């Protein structure tokens, strides 16, 4: 099993699930009312979320209470699947299907779309990664593999900041410009992609090569 890819899928799948739960709570609190359209705001009247446009989401369900309940349940399903079962056969496909359902049932925009990407990555948990061994030299694989823990840690910091940072800045300092939000978004996406790439390189080393690299670096 490709352990770096498994750790990435579990950790960031769980983060996207928690973000989906937050969307669902806001929709539940709006009560049993009909949305004005397919595009909705999870927290339309919240000062905390004003800098993120009330947390946009979409729904095909004509009731916000039902939308919120489904968003929470589907997000919980994603959380359980990502942390416990994503390494199973067709685990990535199941994650993608749950994320698609989240997207259509009020689980936000970014969380389910990113969960779909994570599901695609998790489909490589048991893949041989032959292409990475063929097209990357051993030295390049070792270099990228060494970057993986740092990239993973940076990504683990960047995404909670991306989800909570704009709201916190707006709550304490009032309306902010788009600049800081773009910086957070670009940083979060960059670390996400870097973590995926370095994770594949780390898994492509194989367990024996990785252990010898760790011994030599220690």
183-197 exposure pattern, b = at least 16 Cβ within 10 A, e = fewer: ebbebbeebbebbbe
Residue 180 φ/ψ, nearest 5 degrees: -60, -35
How much of the chain exceeds pLDDT 70, in percent?
90
pLDDT for residue 153: 96
Helix/strand/coil for 209: helix
Is the pTM for the entire model greater than 0.85? yes
Residue 117 is part of which domain span?
Answer: 3-217
Is the pLDDT score of 210 beyond 70?
A: no
Residues 6 or more apart in contact with residue 202 via CB below 8 angstroms: 4, 144, 145, 148, 210
**What is residue 6's DSSP assignment?**
H
CB 95 within 8 A of CB 119: yes
10-51, pLDDT tens digit by residue? 999 999 999 999 999 999 999 999 998 999 999 998 878 877
Question: How many domains is the chain partitioned into structurally?
Answer: 1
- Average pLDDT over every residue of 121-129: 91
CB 55 within 8 A of CB 26: yes
If you average pLDDT over every residue of the chain, what do you get? 89
User: How far is CA 69 from each of CA 107, 120, 165, rounded to the nearest angstrom?
Assistant: 10, 26, 26
56-67, pLDDT tens digit by residue? 999 999 999 999
pLDDT for residue 173: 67
């Amino acid at each position: 099993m490709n352990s770096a890819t498994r750790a990435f899928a579990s950790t960031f799948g769980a983060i996207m699930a928690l973000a989906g739960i937050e969307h669902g709570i806001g929709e539940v609190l709006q009560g049993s009312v009909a949305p004005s359209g397919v595009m909705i705001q999870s927290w339309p009247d919240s000062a905390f979320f004003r800098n993120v446009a009330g947390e946009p989401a979409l729904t095909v369900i004509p009731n916000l209470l039902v939308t919120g309940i489904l968003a929470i349940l589907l997000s919980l399903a994603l959380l359980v699947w990502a942390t416990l079962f994503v390494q199973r056969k067709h685990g990535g496909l199941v994650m993608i299907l749950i994320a698609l359902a989240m997207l259509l049932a009020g689980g936000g925009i970014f969380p389910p779309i990113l969960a779909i990407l994570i599901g695609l990555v998790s489909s490589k948990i048991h893949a041989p990664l032959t292409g990475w061994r063929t097209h990357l030299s051993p030295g390049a694989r070792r270099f990228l593999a060494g970057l993986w823990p740092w990239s993973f840690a940076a990504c683990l910091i960047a995404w909670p900041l991306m989800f909570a940072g704009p709201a916190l800045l707006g709550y304490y300092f009032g309306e902010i410009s788009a600049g800081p939000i773009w910086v957070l978004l670009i940083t979060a996406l960059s670390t996400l992609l870097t973590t995926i790439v370095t994770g594949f390189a780390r898994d492509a080393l194989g367990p024996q090569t990785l252990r010898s690299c760790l011994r030599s670096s220690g």
